[in-house]
Amino acid sequence: LLDFLKEECEQRGATIVYATHIFDGLESWATHVVYIEDGKLKRFEKLSELNEMRNAVNLLQVVESWLRAENKDKDNKPPMPATQFKMASQLSEVSPFTSRRHMAYYR
């Protein structure tokens, strides 16, 4: 499927947004990586220019390090007041775009 999509992109000049939690083989397929945390854009880079890929075995290892750092940061933050939590949970129920983590790959 990835080979077909890659060929379609190259022939038609199209872009595919692939949001996933499965990273097997994507380091040879994706051209760009986007990382969104708490609804905010944290990373947007060409995969070929991603510094972490120089020392990593694969893309999964890089993403795992980002997620572990995010969890560590969240553990160190003070808890959200109940009023803010209620508001935040209401917003996440309304919009599908405010979930905690998103990864997107561009071809």
The one-character DSSP state at 104 is E
Residue 50's pLDDT is what? Answer: 92
Residue 47's pLDDT is what? Answer: 92
Residue 46's pLDDT is what? Answer: 93
Residue 83's pLDDT is what? Answer: 59
| Structure confidence by residue, pLDDT tens digits, 9-42 | 889 988 888 888 788 788 888 889 998 888 889 9
